[in-house]
Structure 1
């Protein structure tokens, strides 16, 4: 976000992949990196993880590992969720 002119930058990975627009996701910043996980749009319930290095900027994508599910928590990797939250103790 460029506060001087209230505009946003769109990040695209080196291979041209970019995150889809979404809401209800989890996002947090840790050590100059922005992480965005999950969420949904009008067509898709996401189970992906994006990392943006906010200094370089560099984008990395972690593809979906667990199958997309709803109302299922018995997974070693969280299922796609709506309106999730995260916290950082740092």
Structure 2
């Protein structure tokens, strides 16, 4: 049983020695300078002012509805608690 362990240890030692003896040099390419491209005739991008305004209006409308629903839900819960409160105290 120890036969394969000693073989494994010898193989690892031999592999490590081989890896240390091999030296590889990698030639890395030098980065090329980037060319500067002149931008002629490019205008500022227009992101659609009309559409943006419409989106803002819709979002605001949605917020108003959500606030109304929250308020109605809280009012309903408060009214139910007022109705239940006298019954639970009796």
TM tier relative to shorter chain: under 0.3
Q: Which has the larger radius of gyration?
A: 2
Considering fraction of residues, name the structure with more helix. Answer: 2
The structure showing larger relative contact order (alpha-carbon pairs under 8 Å, at least 6 residues apart) is 1
Q: Provide the TM-score with structure 1 as the length reference.
A: 0.14
Structure (1/2) with the larger strand percentage: 1
